[in-house]
Amino acid sequence: MNNTKEQIITEALQYLNKNSWASFVDICSNLSVSRATAYRYFKDKDHLLYETYEYCLEKILEIINKYSKLDITNIEKFDGILTDIVPLWNEFWFISAMYYDYYESENFDKYIKVENALSELIDKLKKQWHIRDDLPTKWIVYTVYNLLHQGWLYMYEWYTGSKLLPELIKTTLNIWIYKQK
């Protein structure tokens, strides 16, 4: 992705975080690049949102890949991934609402990569007796997604801040998913 396109996406995300129902013209008017430049990269708001979702999934994959290369335990990798994804989810909050509709898009390869990478790590954690093996892996992945989404709603509606969210997610996972010692 080139720098201008990424700049448009990140600036649009910041604007949409406060003005989720803004039109494409409104978004373009609040960018540091001209409206013509924005139209060179995106034909309309739907196209911008689609590319934004792709961008966010790439960032999530970068986080997962970063932790997969570290020489730490799988449970530390999982906790690290959750901790690092939360600020991304908070910054790009509407992604958590959009992912439900992603199955209907023409190409959801990145979504599947994220899901597969999380599933692979969860399967390793099951084999190492950190996560209950009676729960289906896909269910755990969707539980994590839903915790991120519900956690965002909690932060957004009650202004608790993103520092509390990783702890809330880990506590919930500890109760539901992690094996009790």
Give residue limits of the domains in the chain.
71-176
Instruction: Please write the tens of the pLDDT for every residue from 64-73.
Output: 889 989 999 8
pLDDT digits (tens, 9 = 90+) for 126-161: 888 777 788 888 888 877 777 776 665 665 555 555
**Model confidence at 5, in pLDDT bands (50, 70, 90)?**
very high
Long-range CB pairs of 107-112 (<8 Å, 24+ gap) are 110/54, 110/57, 110/58, 110/61, 111/57
Given this model, what pLDDT does residue 136 score? 84
Distance between CA atoms of residues 13 and 92, nearest Å? 6
b/e 20-42 (16+ beta carbons within 10 angstroms → b): eebebeebbeebeeeeebbeebb
Considering the entire predicted model, what is its pTM?
0.72
Band (pLDDT 50/70/90 cuts) for residue 97 is low
58: Cβ contacts below 8 Å, ≥ 6 apart: 1, 110
